[in-house]
Amino acid sequence: MPEPAGNRRRGPRRTLTEDQILDAALTLLDEGGSDAASVRGIAAKVGVAPNGVYTYFPDKAAVVKALVERLLGEVDHGIFVDRGQPWRQRVESLALDLRTRLSAHPGVVPLMIGGPMDGPNALALNERLLEVLADAGVDPADAARAAYLLIVYVFGSIALEVADLHQPGPLPPERERIDTRLRAFAATPAERYPHTAAAAAELAGYISTDQYLWGLRRVLDGIATTAARAGEADS
């Protein structure tokens, strides 16, 4: 005979929150790199069996997607929605903010670019970019292409910067990393790679903020030229 509903035992009470799981995943990624945040490892970090994590997330990919969404949700949209600022400055502010936030968690970056960024916060970020580009006079089709180009540049640059470290954990200070790269490039055999040897100082600075902004501004130059040509064609 079925047990009356009022007498049935309730299931185990949830003792975790999604944020606690994401906090644990982020800590593991910060400490051990992109391979460190397995479901088993996350469960051990928060002191539950793996099934406790599966209550909230079906697999590691879902944890990573939620973590990426949370990090993108921390971006300060106020820095690039001010229409009183030049559009290029608004894009530059966003790009610098993203670089600062993601560089603080290098273990997340390879996972971020390894899957689709299609959650609400990712879509909001893209929407803001499209708004800025519309303000710049870029037509909708070119704006969509330009927004993608900017995302590729920003996230690709950060990924290459993180990959250069070759070890898990937080990024050392920029000057220290540049000096390490300079020592490596200084040892390049000039007789075999003359152009590389001659450009050692510039190659060492590929991971610098200056290089990041240099490349971003060249991309923005191209977008500005596209917008100007479209304006001339319409006049």
Structural domain contains residue 113: yes
Give the pLDDT confidence score for residue 40 in this predicted structure: 94
Structural domain contains residue 124: yes
Sign of the CA dihedral running 78, 171, 160, 34 = negative
Whole-angstrom Cα distance, residue 83 to residue 89?
Answer: 10
pLDDT digits (tens, 9 = 90+) for 56-94: 999 999 999 999 999 999 988 777 778 889 999 999 999
* Parts of the chain with a pLDDT under 70: 1-14, 235
Give the pLDDT confidence score for residue 184 in this predicted structure: 94
Whole-angstrom Cα distance, residue 188 to residue 150?
Answer: 33
Domain of residue 215, CATH code? 1.10.357.10
Q: Does the pTM of the predicted model rise above 0.75?
A: yes
3-state DSSP helix/strand/coil % of the chain, to nearest 5? 70, 0, 30
Structural domain contains residue 42: no
Sign of the CA dihedral running 146, 152, 154, 155 = positive
Whole-angstrom Cα distance, residue 49 to residue 186?
Answer: 51
pLDDT digits (tens, 9 = 90+) for 39-48: 999 999 999 9
Give the pLDDT confidence score for residue 27 in this predicted structure: 95
Give the pLDDT confidence score for residue 11 in this predicted structure: 33
Whole-angstrom Cα distance, residue 158 to residue 192?
Answer: 30
Domain count, the chain: 1
Structural domain contains residue 93: yes
φ and ψ at 3, to 5 degrees? -75, 135
Structural domain contains residue 45: no
Q: Which domain holds residue 94?
A: 77-234
Structural domain contains residue 194: yes
Structural domain contains residue 6: no
Structural domain contains residue 63: no
Give the pLDDT confidence score for residue 170 in this predicted structure: 84
Give the pLDDT confidence score for residue 8 in this predicted structure: 37
Give the pLDDT confidence score for residue 76 in this predicted structure: 82
Whole-angstrom Cα distance, residue 35 to residue 12?
Answer: 31
Whole-angstrom Cα distance, residue 132 to residue 79?
Answer: 12
Residue 149: C-alpha distances to residues 36, 91, 218 (Å): 30, 12, 12
